Every structure is written in structure tokens, then in C-alpha cells.
Amino acid sequence: MSGNTLLYIILAGITALLLALFQYIYKSKKRKLNPIFSFLRFITIFSVLLLIINPKFEKVALYNEKPNLVVVVDDSESVKHLEQDKNVNELLASIKNSKELNDKFNLDIYSFGSDFQKLDSLNFNQSQTNYTSVFSNLQQIYKESNSPTVLISDGNQTFGRDFEFSSKQYKQPIFSVILGDTITYSDLKIQQLNVNKYAYLKNKFPVEVIAVYNGNTPVNSTFTIKNGNTTLYSTSLQFSKTNNSQTLNITLPSDKVGVNSYVASLSPLSTEKNIVNNSKPFALEVIDQKTNVAIVTSISHPDIGTLKKAIESNEQRTAFIVSPMDYISNKEDYQMVILYQPNSSFKTVFESLDVEGKNRFIITGINTDWAFLNSIQNVFQQKITNQEESFQAIFNDNFNTFLPGELAFDNLPPLESEFGDVEFNIPIEALLFKSINNNIIEETLMATYENVGQRGVMLFGEGIWRWRSQSYLDTNSFNQFDDFIGKIMQYTASNKRRNRLNINYEPFYNGSDNIKITAQFFNKNYEFDAAASLEMVIKNIETNKTTVIPFVLQQNTYEVNLNDFPSGDYDFTVRANRGEVTSSGRTKILDYNVEKQFLNANVSKLERLANSSNGSSYLIDDTTSIIDDLINDSRFVTVQKSNKNVVPLIDFKYLLGLIILSLSIEWFLRKYNGLI
């Protein structure tokens, strides 16, 4: 409370006293009750003046804060493969049932595999082990608290950034409980196999294989690659304690169109305990053509390099940056055309495209010659204002020309373009609308059209290089942006009529992948139908087993998950509304489980993790002391904290009650004595 406030309170007291004395002592007749009336009136006036002054008081509340004990359990298949699931459940039960531990800590238990989540139940069926999500989530949740962490895991990572580095952001002591056998066995395994996703007919594709040996005595093994029962490659390998790895660079022929499956394998040793990691299946799709995309431009801009990288992320496509004159000279070499910010030098290009009936993707910006562009084509007309504006992209939920992918348009930076309305002379499908300062305006930013057998895409804005960068910042990958550009390329490369049922799937999946197949269904007006009933009838070609799975609606797509399906070749048919529309396809699930490639726990890495965080490490067979160590660790104690709040007097309800009480008593006494 300040000195001025105290002075006001003293003046309020004097004022209240003088007014009370003036009314009941100086002006009133002498009565026995006058001193009481004066006191009650003083209380009333003084309380009202206090409310007007409204002084502020500090209110201090004390409370005890226990440290958190964070228990994180590995729920991946490798734990069960190493036969440690029973040990994990027993240790977890001991922690939960320890009264001393629960008295000292707030216990929070999580599980992780592909995802990080609050522990519900342990099934040890997660197909990936992602430590990156563990430490990033823990850092957000416990960055302001004292939270020692017990990590129960085998330390074998299959996905994400190396957890020795990702854990550096997490500033809490980590107590590692190491699951698995620490005895070293002789073991041969295929550590890594690198192969392209696509190859071209009558060509050769490279395969890189890294084979690793863990043991002390020299051994021999035979490495083979087979396609079905046919051996395509075979060689003998020698390993020893010092020569414990071999890198093979192999080229194989691609002479059969479609998805081709292969198995790379090392002949096992007689003493090997784990032979699952001796073989690794892989597949690739052989295609008989390659698409050349011409990016026609007369200026330099970062968008051009971005387009080239996004297009060439799909190995079926190659992008060439050419001038209008170069395109005309070699136009037979290109199957697709992107016209970037056209000007008058593009005249022969437009004329050639019109004559040949080729599809096109037009991108405009602040360097576009709009007078020329308005005159050279009849699809749209831009009002020329010679003013620049930045437009945010808003996705049109009713867009149904193709599946645009998962790019989060609302989170992307704005594009720059000419300010002014665009009028269309033919029907179009708006993919993106313009937004200025989060206000959607009735103008199109991106659209598709079909006109007299031709397809086209228009983007009215430059700066998509920022979109690719933002996509990477959001997802740590360029895949979402590149996939979006790939969808546009696929649309403009084809003149097929659009379908009411579109399915998005890969020709093959690894068995440990998150296998999702998505679909979109449209009504007869080609409007997305969110009330449809979609189901997949999927058949294992080898066993003839047929399964019917319903699709689940996820925003503007339908989705089905095939994670639990065994490896094999599958034919499937997607039916909408009990067969109103159907579409079929084929895919392959490879017999490969990355979680079963491990023979031992990664002891050294878990020990380093514990030591670098000022924690401790324990083997699962010797965890009797971990509870005692946590209880007796002086770093983890209950702390008494105070919470100081500044409370204004007007928040005190008792003062209002005092005013009402004093006025009531004064009124009652005056009434009782006949003074009213």
C-alpha cells in the first residue's frame, strides 16, 4: 500500500468521524442512543469512502509442490521380441504400488512407439520407435518443473533424429532402465539397404547394401538377391572382428513393368540367435516412360528452383528450365509445360500449345505482362491496376478435381500478385481463395479448368518458394509441398475425365510402415460427399482371404488403415454407397519388421544418455535399487512455494456486508425508538 493511499484513508476516517458527529452530536437533540448512532454512521461513511479509495492489499498463499516422477515405457515390438515384456510389467507395477514413491512424487506414466501418449495399456505392438517425439513432448510439458524421468527401453531406435542428440533439449535427470540381453552373440545382419523407388524399363537400377558382423572369430557367408525363385546376384563375403562390415554396390536389370519384389539375404551362421535380420525384402516399380516438364520463363526467381526440386522429387519426372525460344526449338521433348510469369516473348509458346492442344500450368506474379496475357488466351481476364498486393491462401473445401494432399494452406506465407479481380470466361474449379488480413475475399488464388479437351491450372501469385520452406519448418520434411506439386503435375499430364471416386495409394509398402489408403467421393454434381458410406473389399491373392473394412471420414478425405495386415499381394475394390461407384487397385505389403532386427539392447547409448543428464542407468535384472535411489535423492524434494496476489479492497465482500449491517442496525434502532 502506497503512502498516498494511507493518507487518503486517514482523511476518509477524519471525514467520516466529523460527518457522524455533526449529524448526531452537533445537530441532533441529546439522546442516550446518539453515541451509538454516531458510531454506526461513522462505520457506514468510512466503509463507503474506503470502497471509493479502493486500496490494494497483498495476499500470500502458501502451498507445497511435489516433484514429478515421469515414467516413459517403450511399447514397441522390439521389447516383446527381446522377451522383456513381462519384466516391464513387473517393474511398472512396483513403481505404481510403491507408497514411498507416490508420497514423494506426482507420478506421470507415458508410453511410446510410433507416437508418444499417456499410458493406457501396454501391448508391445508399435511398429516403430520414435524417441524424437518423446523428448520434444516432455520438454514442453515439464520444462518449468523438477521432473526426474525413468526411461524403460531397449534403446533401439527405428525412426527420427538420434535420441542422444534430441534428448539434449530435455533438461531433466534421466534414469535409464535397460531392457534386453547384454551378452554379445555372433550375429550377421543387413544393416542398411538403399534402393530407388522407381526404375525404367530396359534399364539398370543400383542397390547399395551394408552388411555387418558382430563377433570375434572369422566367418564366411553368402550374400544373395532373389526375385521369387530366381537368383539375380550372389557373392561370398568374409568377416572378422576387425573387418566387420562390407558395403556392396550392385546393379540389377529392370525388365518387367510393374511392382517387382526382391529379397536380399545373408546365409546365417550355425550359432546365430537372431536370423530375422539376415534378410531384407525390397521392391520397386518399373515404369516404361518418363515425363519431361518444361518450366518456361524469361526471368530469374526462387520459385523456379523450388518448382524444379518439387517436380524431381518424383523420379518419374524431370524438370528443365528453358526460355520461350528454347521451348519452341525442342517442344517435342516435353510432355508438360509450366508458364512462369508470361510476357510478350511467350507468344509463340501459347500459339504452339493451342495448336497441339497441350495442357498448361500458368503462374503469374508482379513481373507478369497482364496486357499480353489477357490478349493471348480467353480463359480469364485480369483487371490491370499496376498495384501489388499480398494474398493468403484459403483452401476450398468443395474442391473436387483431385486430392490435394495434406499441405496446410492456412499456415503458409502470402503470395504476391497484381491487385484486382480476375474474371473467368469458362467454368473453373477454385482450389484456393484469396485472403487479406485473415478476411476471405471473393477472388480466386488458384484454380483448375477443362476446356475443349484441354486441362489447365492457374496460380495467381508468386512466392511459392516460401511455401516449401514453411512446409519444412512445420513438418521437418518437404514431402507435403512436393506431393501437392506432384498432384498438379499428375492432373495436367492427363486428359482423363474426372471420376467420382478417387483413391490415393502406393504400389507397395514396408510391413513396418504406417499403411494408410485414402479416398474422396463426390456426388453427381462433383461436390464432396461427407455423408457417403465407403468400404474396402481387400483380398490376399495367396490365401484368397477377403476382408471388408469401412473407411473413416477425416476432414475432406476418407481413410482406411492396413497396419495389421500380413505381408503379401492384395487386390482391393473400394465401394461407395453399396456399389453405386467402385474403383479397384492392387498393392503389396513387404515382409519386413524393423523392430525384429535387434538382438541386444543398446546398452552403451542408454548409459551415455543417463550419465549426460546427471541420472543413472540400471539393467532390468537389477532394478531393486531404483526406487530407493529415487526416494533418497536429495535433488527431488517437496518445495514450499508462495503465491502472492494483489487484491483490491472492492473484492472483499465482508466490507459490503459491514455497510449493510451498520445501516440495518441504525435503521432498526431509529425505528424502534420512534425516530423514523
- Return the HEC string of 4-36: HHHHHHHHHHHHHHHHHHHHHHHCCCCCCCHHH
Give every CB contact of residue 34 below 8 A, 6+ residues apart in sequence.
24, 25, 28
Give every CB contact of residue 439 below 8 A, 6+ residues apart in sequence.
none
CB environment 587-612: b (16+ within 10 A), e (fewer)? bbbbebbbbbbbbbbbbebbbbbbee
- All three cell numbers of 617, joined, read 542407468
Specify if 228 maps to a domain: yes
Which letter does DSSP use for residue 522 in this model? B
Per the listing, cell 512424487 goes with: 105
| Angle in degrees, 0-180, between the axes of helices 464-475 and 302-312, rounded to the nearest 10 | 50
Residues 301 and 412 both lie in one domain: yes
CB 16 within 8 A of CB 49: yes
Specify if 643 maps to a domain: no
Residues 228 and 346 both lie in one domain: no
Residues 108 and 161 both lie in one domain: yes
Q: For the chain, give the percent of residues with pLDDT over 90.
A: 40
Give strand pairing partners of 546: 539
Residues 460 and 575 both lie in one domain: no
Residues 360 and 295 both lie in one domain: yes
Split at pLDDT 50, 70, 90, the class of 349 is: very high
Residues 416 and 309 both lie in one domain: yes
- Domain containing 568 equals 501-594
Specify if 642 maps to a domain: no
Distance in angstroms (rounded) separating the CA atoms of residues 6 and 67? 42
The average confidence (pLDDT) of the chain is 87
Q: What is the pLDDT of residues 431-476, one digit of tens each?
A: 999 988 877 887 899 999 988 778 899 999 999 999 999 999 988 8
- When pLDDT is averaged across residues 129-154 and rounded to a whole number, the result is 90
**CA 564 vs CA 129, 161, 510, 586, 589: distances in Å:** 17, 26, 12, 17, 11
How far apart are the two ends of the chain, measured CA to CA in Å? 41
Give every CB contact of residue 93 below 8 A, 6+ residues apart in sequence.
none
Specify if 565 maps to a domain: yes
Q: Is the pLDDT of residue 571 over 90?
A: yes
CB 560 within 8 A of CB 585: no
- CATH code of the domain covering residue 74: 3.40.50.410
Residues 587 and 613 both lie in one domain: no
Q: Is the pLDDT of residue 590 over 90?
A: no
**How high is the pLDDT of residue 546?**
94
**How high is the pLDDT of residue 595?**
66
Distance in angstroms (rounded) separating the CA atoms of residues 142 and 70? 9
Q: How many CB atoms lie within 10 A of CB 393?
A: 25
DSSP string across 188-240: EEEEEEEE-SEEETTEEEEEEEEEEEE-SS-EEEEEEEEETTEEEEEEEEEE-
Residues 407 and 298 both lie in one domain: yes
- The CB-based long-range contact list for 96-105 (8 Å cut-off, 24+ gap) reads 98/627, 100/627, 100/631, 101/69, 101/627, 101/630, 101/631, 104/66, 104/67, 104/69, 104/630, 104/631, 104/636, 104/638, 105/66, 105/67, 105/68, 105/69, 105/630, 105/636
Which letter does DSSP use for residue 507 in this model? S
Residues 74 and 171 both lie in one domain: yes
Distance in angstroms (rounded) separating the CA atoms of residues 653 and 116? 47
**How high is the pLDDT of residue 182?**
67
Q: Is the pLDDT of residue 599 over 90?
A: no
**How high is the pLDDT of residue 591?**
79
Residues 590 and 512 both lie in one domain: yes
Split at pLDDT 50, 70, 90, the class of 601 is: confident
Rounded to 5 degrees, φ, ψ at 316 are: -80, -10
Residue 112 burial by CB count (10 A; 0-12/13-18/19+): exposed, middle or buried? buried
**How high is the pLDDT of residue 29?**
65
CB environment 72-101: b (16+ within 10 A), e (fewer)? bbbbbbbbbbbebbebbeebbeebeebeeb
**How high is the pLDDT of residue 643?**
75
Confirm whether pTM is higher than 0.85. Answer: no
DSSP string across 376-417: H-SSEEEPP---EEEEEEEE-TT--SS---S--GGGSPPEEE
Per the listing, cell 473389399 goes with: 537
**How high is the pLDDT of residue 495?**
64
- CATH code of the domain covering residue 585: 2.60.40.10
Specify if 404 maps to a domain: yes
| Angle in degrees, 0-180, between the axes of helices 302-312 and 479-493, rounded to the nearest 10 | 80
Residues 465 and 524 both lie in one domain: no
Q: Where are the alpha helices (DSSP H) in 333-378?
A: 347-356, 370-376
Split at pLDDT 50, 70, 90, the class of 30 is: low
Q: What is the pLDDT of residues 232-256, one digit of tens each?
A: 999 999 999 899 999 999 999 988 8
Which letter does DSSP use for residue 26 in this model? I
Distance in angstroms (rounded) separating the CA atoms of residues 318 and 323? 16
Give me the number of domains the chain comprises.
Answer: 5
| Angle in degrees, 0-180, between the axes of helices 479-493 and 464-475, rounded to the nearest 10 | 130
Residues 465 and 606 both lie in one domain: no
- CATH code of the domain covering residue 337: 3.40.50.880
